[in-house]
Chains A and B, each alone.
Chain A
Amino acid sequence: MSRLTVPKTYKLFIGGAFPRSESGRTYEVTSASGGFLANAAKASRKDARDAVVAARGAVAGWAGATAYNRGQVLYRIAELLEGRRAQFVAEIEEAEGVSRAAAGAQVDEAIDRWVWYAGWADKFAQVAGNANPVAGPYFNLSVPEPTGVVAIVAPQDSALLGLVSAVAPALVAGNAVVVVASERFPLSAISLAEVLATSDVPKGVVNVLTGSPAEIAPWLASHADVNALDLVGAGALDWIDLEIAAADTLKRVHRPEQGADAAAPSLERIVGFTETKTVWHTKSLR
């Protein structure tokens, strides 16, 4: 005898809460075979701006946490994702229409990338920074610091792995993130938000918007309180216009990538969302 299932309402993830879009809009998400999966929230300009406010509020605490602590929090995400592995495999299988094995491989790789990036949190500064032997009696040190609020258009062709690959490196250094999920596969993004909400990630450090990247990205690209724009998943959008809009406040812009290599794990992706700060201090016996 079959049991009647209890479907989930998928909402946005802003400031640690799960609100519906303030616009009241949703859009239908279907499976690969065209069946109804859910009505996902269709985020508006106001939602995007709320997400930026939440992210800005979270930067100081997250960037100010010790690197050891950030590493443990990111590792904790991997732990919780592992525990909900079956849920994600089923979601991806349905949404992307891939085999169980392929969906499983995607989830496994996503988990392993969290682990990989978690390990970088208290190391990347040692690789990306250095002492500088200046010609004078000065202690001089260069260290990477988080850029601040990073807006991301997640890779559009995967439900989970692309999103994780884009979000995790930005978090390592202490940035707060507003990410626009894959338009076609938004449900795993919100399920991931549930993992984030319960894995010691402070409120506002990650904010997830679902809906139309073409509609939301311009508001993020032109938002004066966004410091960096990762267009990794924006290859199909008018991304040159986004880059031009971002130039108004000289945001750091990362251009689109596509294919299997998109947002591949790299130290470059961590350092790409940092600013090098160089501190000079006088030395004296007096």
Chain B
Amino acid sequence: MSFLEYAPAPESRAILSLRDRYGLFIDGEFVDGRGTPFQTISPANEERIAEIASANAEDVADAVAAARRAYERVWSKMSGRDRGKYLFRIARLVQERARELAVAESLDNGKPIKESRDVDVPLVAAWFFYYAGWADKLDHAGLGADPRALGVAGQVIPWNFPLLMLAWKIAPALAAGNTVVLKPAETTPLTALLFAEILQQAELPAGVVNIVTGAGETGAALVAADVDKVAFTGSTGVGRAIAKQVAGTQKKVTLELGGKAANIVFDDAPIDQAIEGIVNGIFFNQGHVCCAGSRLLVQESIHDEVVDRLKQRLSTLRLGDPLDKNTDIGAINSAAQLARIRELSDVGVAEGAERWSAPCELPAEGFWFAPTIFTGVETSHRIAREEVFGPVLSVLSFRTPQEAIAKANNTPYGLSAGIWSDKGSRILAVADQLRAGVIWANTFNRFDPASPFGGYKESGYGREGGRHGLGAYLAPAASRSARAARAVEASAAPAAKTRPAAKADAEAKPAPAKRSRRTSKSAEKGAAK
């Protein structure tokens, strides 16, 4: 009997007391949505968990109006000290209900309970605890004395770390004095709704946080609504669309988008730790991580050894029931994501890379994908360029540090990177050259509320975490941009062709005008040719 055979140790679902249906959380209460409700399922067995309301554009407008009222009447008038106390309360309530949240997260998302229990939920509490302390210290946030909140923040989050991404968004927004409308991902709304109950227990004033569930259209409606700040975490494609949507407005934007991180292993690396770090880098959370180390760059002299040891290690990973405490690899979050991973893996084979998958039995129900390594990958292969967002590692090799740097930077993304070496001077020199926002040296996938996180290039802009993450929700007291905006407005008023700093209610109508302008311009270009 191998050590891989073990008695299942599932975490009990009895800790959950879920409702059969969940409404939208608007102005402190659960209300019905006007869109068509949808079911949220467990990706591990496709069983229904609960029915979730869907917010249409009117519901979103209601939520934004509630947030606006709460901002103007309550939250912007409250002292930083009291705002901080609410955040401390929330942090404590999250800790008190930690196990319940972890079980709900693993159930709805498919991630192993040991990750939701030991990583996601503790970090959620830490995030609120960290930003709670900032609320009455904003003068030290780096924007000068008396920085001001932006107003209402519209926040759209992904399904890979549902509750953690909620915390990344809500905690700094509230600490800085903003109110919030948040849209969780369609496939993972559950913990956000449990969080709404926590807000009720914390007696957070009504409307300060509103949660609207739904699909992509709900998110698009939120971005288009009368909000002052848009924060989005998700795919680069959607991020690009949001950047276009907010063009010409005064909305401040933070985008945390895709990545294709290089994890660089030099031949002097501490190899045991490196193997664990590579595994953690790409197989943590089934590879559903925007900063995942999906491109392994191994120095040529140790390539074969590293690949052999990786295969050995992956053969010992336990894939299965996310609620089982022994599980290392959980379920793929959705059928759509599974299809994407399969498609790109097939492309990998078709383009000539060599595929190896860990020999594990996949459950019959649910969405599953075995940990997979591609060797012989070339920089032009799609699996070396596109984000797979699954448990798929592409292995490339290099000879010199310069080559490693060039290959690592050969991507439109720039979110994260890893460096494994025992030579400190080389680590720092390589770290200097990598165009990525987060660099882990001799570790990977570490997160902390005190540490800024965010990308270069097409991985987005703005930072979350730390002092920098707070600044994303603040403006200087006498904002340069606000002054300039007024100036532009004043001077552009007579010129019909320039749309000045749009105040929110003007947002809906300029779209056709914009389109017609663009059309006329491309016509001119055509004529010029």
A interface residues with partner B (beta carbon < 8 Å): 127-128, 130, 132-136, 138, 140, 142, 147-148, 218, 227, 235-241, 243-244, 246-250, 252-253, 255-259, 261-262, 264, 266, 268, 275-282
Segment among B158-166, B219-227, B360-368, B492-500 that sits at the interface with chain A? B492-500
The distance from the CB of A214 to the nearest CB of chain B, in whole angstroms, is 10
Partner of A259, one of B435, B443, B460, B491: B491
Which residue of the partner chain, among B247, B435, B451, B495, contacts A142 with CB atoms under 8 Å? Answer: B451
Instruction: Identify the 10 closest CB pairs spanning chains A and B, nearest first.
Output: A240-B248, A257-B484, A247-B243, A243-B247, A134-B448, A259-B487, A281-B441, A258-B487, A132-B450, A247-B244
Interface contacts beyond A235-B491, A238-B498, A257-B480: sample of 11 additional A-B pairs, CB < 8 Å, sorted by A: A136-B446, A236-B498, A244-B518, A247-B240, A250-B460, A257-B487, A257-B488, A261-B483, A266-B480, A268-B476, A279-B428
B431 touches A279 (CB 8 A): yes
Taking beta carbons and an 8 Å cutoff, which residues of B are in contact with A? Answer: 126, 142, 236, 239-240, 243-244, 247-248, 255, 257, 412, 414, 424, 427-428, 431, 435-443, 446, 448, 450-454, 456-458, 460-461, 463, 466-468, 476, 480-481, 483-485, 487-488, 491-492, 495, 497-499, 501, 514, 517-518, 521
Other-chain contact of A140, B437, B448, B461 (Cβ < 8 Å): B448
Q: Which residues of A contact B436 (CB under 8 A)?
A: 277
Known: A257-B487, A261-B484. A278 touches B453 (CB 8 A): yes
B257 touches A278 (CB 8 A): no
CB contact under 8 A between A248 and B240, given known A135-B448, A277-B436:
yes
Contact B458 A250, beta carbon cutoff 8 Å: yes
Given contacts A240-B247, A240-B514, contact A256 B439 (CB under 8 A): no
Chain A residue nearest in CB terms to B412: A249
Question: 12 pairs across A/B with beta carbons < 8 Å?
Answer: A132-B448, A132-B466, A241-B518, A244-B248, A249-B412, A250-B458, A255-B501, A268-B476, A276-B452, A278-B453, A280-B446, A280-B451
Say yes or no: A279 contacts B484, CB within 8 Å. no
* The residue from A127, A262, A276 contacting B463, defined by CB atoms under 8 A apart: A276
With contacts A133-B450, A138-B446 taken as known, whether A250 is within 8 angstroms of B441 at the C-beta atoms is no
A134 contacts across to B, CB distance below 8 A: 446, 448, 450-451
- Residue contact B492 to A250, C-beta cutoff 8 Å: no
- With beta carbons under 8 angstroms apart, the residue of B244, B453, B495 that contacts A244 is B244
Given contacts A276-B468, A280-B446, contact A236 B452 (CB under 8 A): no
Q: Which single residue of chain B is at the shortest CB-CB distance from A128?
A: B142
On chain A, the residues within 8 Å of B467 by CB distance are: 130
* Distance between Cα atoms of A258 and B501 in the complex (Å): 12
Cβ-neighbour of B497 out of A238, A255, A256, A261 (below 8 A)? A238
In the complex with contacts A250-B458, A250-B460, A258-B491, A277-B484 CB distance below 8 A = no
CA distance A39 to B139 in the complex (A): 52
Q: A132-B451, A240-B499 are in contact. Are A264 and B480 (CB under 8 A)?
A: yes
Given A127-B142, A250-B239, A252-B461, A282:B126 Cβ within 8 A: no
CB neighbours of A279 from chain B (8 A): 428, 431, 439, 441
Chain A residue numbers with a CB within 8 Å of B439 are 277-280
Within the complex, the shortest CB–CB distance from B496 to chain A, in Å, comes to: 12
Contact A249 B458 (CB under 8 A): yes
CB distance from A151 to the nearest CB of B (A): 15
Name the A residues within 8 Å of B481 (CB-CB). Answer: 255, 257
- In the bound complex, CA of A9 to CA of B331 (Å): 69
A250 B457 Cβ-Cβ under 8 A: yes
Looking at A140, A142, A243, A248, the one whose CB has the most chain B CB atoms below 10 A away is: A142
Contacts of A244 in B (CB 8 A): 244, 247-248, 514, 518
Within the assembled complex, what's the spacing in Å between the Cα atoms of A261 and B487?
9
Chain B residues, CB < 8 A from A253: 247
Give the distance in Å from the alpha carbon of A279 to the alpha carbon of B450 in the complex.
13
B60 to chain A, nearest CB (A): 22
**Bound Cα distance A147, B461 (Å):** 11
Chain A residues with CB under 8 Å of B414's CB are 275
Chain B residues with CB below 8 A from A130, complex form = 466-467
- How far is it, in angstroms, between the C-alpha of A255 and the C-alpha of B481 when the chains are bound? 8
Give the CA-CA distance A237 to B248 in the complex, in Å: 12
* B50 CB, nearest partner CB in chain A, Å: 34
Residue on A nearest B257 in the bound complex, by CB: A250
- Shortest CB–CB separation between residue B478 and chain A, in angstroms? 10
Chain B residues, CB < 8 A from A275: 414, 437, 456
In angstroms, Cα B239 to Cα A257, docked, is: 25
Measured between beta carbons, the chain B residues less than 8 angstroms from A227 are 457
Report which of A255, A278, A281 forms a contact with B427, defined as CB distance below 8 A: A281
Residue contact B454 to A276, C-beta cutoff 8 Å? yes
For A248, the chain B residues whose CB sits under 8 A away are: 240
In the complex, A248 Cα to B428 Cα: how many Å? 32
Distance of A231 Cα from B453 Cα, bound (Å): 27
Contact across chains for B488 and A256 when beta carbons are under 8 A apart: yes
Q: Considering only CB atoms, which chain A residue lies closest to B469 in the complex?
A: A276
Q: How far is the CB of A268 from chain B (nearest CB, A)?
A: 6
Neighbouring A residues of B466 by C-beta, 8 Å:
130, 132, 142, 278
B487 touches A262 (CB 8 A): yes
Instruction: Please name all residues of chain B whose beta carbon is closer than 8 Å to the beta carbon of A278 when the two chains form the complex.
Output: 437-439, 451-453, 466
Assess whether B437 is in contact with A276, with CB atoms less than 8 Å apart: yes
Q: Which of A243, A249, A255, A266 is most buried by chain B, counting CB atoms within 10 A of its CB?
A: A255
The distance from the CB of B206 to the nearest CB of chain A, in whole angstroms, is: 33
Bound state CA distance, A65 and B245, in angstroms?
A: 38
Across-interface contacts of A276 in B (CB, < 8 A): 437, 452, 454, 463, 468
Cβ–Cβ contact A258 & B498, under 8 A: no
How many whole Å from A246's CB to the nearest CB in chain B?
8
In contact, B461 and A247 (Cβ under 8 angstroms): no
Give the shortest distance, in Å, between A173 (CB) and chain B (any CB): 13
Let me know if A259 and B142 touch, CB within 8 A.
no
Closest to A227 in B: B457
A235 to chain B: closest residue by CB? B488
List of A residues within 8 angstroms of B495 by Cβ: 236
The distance from the CB of B248 to the nearest CB of chain A, in whole angstroms, is 3
Tell me the bound Cα distance from A134 to B123 in angstroms.
Answer: 12
Closest to B456 in A: A275
Q: How far is the CB of A161 from chain B (nearest CB, A)?
A: 16
CB distance from B20 to the nearest CB of A (A): 38
Q: Which chain A residues lie closer than 8 Å to B458 at the CB level? A: 249-250
Contact indicator B248/A243 (Cβ below 8 Å)? yes
Alpha-carbon distance A235/B500, docked complex (angstroms): 9
Central interface residue in A147, A237, A281, by most chain B CB within 10 Å: A281
How many Å lie between the Cα of A128 and that of B497 in the bound state?
A: 38
How many whole Å from B225's CB to the nearest CB in chain A? 19
Of residues B243, B483, B485, which shows the largest number of chain A Cβ atoms within 10 Å of its Cβ?
A: B243
Q: Determine the distance from Cα of A100 to Cα of B483 in the docked complex, in whole angstroms.
A: 29
Which chain A residues border B257 with CB–CB below 8 Å?
A: 250
- A235 near B442 (CB under 8 angstroms)? no
In the complex, the answer to whether A235 meets B498 with C-beta atoms within 8 Å is: yes
In the complex, are the beta carbons of B451 and A258 less than 8 A apart? no
**Whole-angstrom CA separation of A118 from B67 in the bound complex:** 44
Residues of A within 8 A of B450 (CB): 132-135, 140
